[in-house]
Amino acid sequence: RLLEAGVDLMHFDVMDGHFVPNISYGAPVLKCLHAAMPDVYYDVHLMISDPARYAADFARAGANLITFHLEAVPDTAEEVIAAIRAAGCQVGISIRPGTPVEAVFPYLGVVDLILVMSVEPGFGGQKFIPTTVSRVAAIKAECNRRGVSPRIEVDGGINTETASLCAQAGASVLVMGSAFFKAQDRTALAKQVRAL
Ligand code: ZN
């Protein structure tokens, strides 16, 4: 149904009960999805404490892009990036709402995507934190200053209103959960958000 509605990618939230309080699912579930729908772009968001250890598992299971949290591996981010690349995937870096945006600046020219969390990671259905918009704008401005253009993704509390604000600030990938699944007409919603 998601594909019929016209989504561009599948965002796959992995939680380990350690980096975040909840446990979701792991590589075997991704493998099943990939087997059923091999042509989907799988955007895997690892909210886990040891992303380097599991990168290859998710790559083998069908991930196209693997995003990890800078807060999980503040001193070994370069190694995690290398591990994800070695596994054959594109690389994303994510920051929680409380982490200063400057933390990702050294990686803007290195990774394929910057994921700006607009809620505290670990739970669905949360309300969008408004300061996210200025955080996206600050990252976009720094990208422009450096002449690099990683995709900027926002995840958490995205609806048509917050999607529009994020797009204006420079985001090009918007993760929609509750608002999408509750929508009467998902096809129209996907079209509307893509047009932003
Ligand atoms: Zn996510």
- CB count, 10 Å around CB of 50? 16
Catalytic residue among 8, 13, 16, 43: 13
What's the rounded Cα separation, in Å, for the pair 45 and 63? Answer: 10
Tell me how far the alpha carbon of residue 42 lies from the centroid of ligand 1, in angstroms.
12
Tell me how far the alpha carbon of residue 33 lies from the centroid of ligand 1, in angstroms.
17
What average pLDDT does range 177-187 have in this prediction? Answer: 95
What's the rounded Cα separation, in Å, for the pair 63 and 42? Answer: 5
Whether 192 shows a pLDDT value over 90: the answer reads yes
3-state helix, strand, coil in the chain (%, to 5): 45, 20, 40
The tokens for 87 are 């596994």
At 118-171, the pLDDT tens digits run 999 987 788 999 999 999 999 999 999 999 999 999 999 999 999 999 999 999
Per-residue pLDDT, 122: 85
At 8-53, the pLDDT tens digits run 999 999 999 999 999 999 999 999 999 999 999 999 999 999 999 9
**Strands 65-69 and 113-117: what pairing?**
unpaired
Catalytic residue among 16, 43, 112, 155: 155
Residue partners of 70: CB distance under 8 A and separation at least 6 = 77, 93, 94, 95, 99, 103, 104, 107
Tell me how far the alpha carbon of residue 168 lies from the centroid of ligand 1, in angstroms.
21
> Which has the closest alpha carbon to 48: 30, 24, 79?
24
Neighbours of ion ligand 1 (CB under 5 A): 13, 45, 155
Per-residue pLDDT, 125: 82
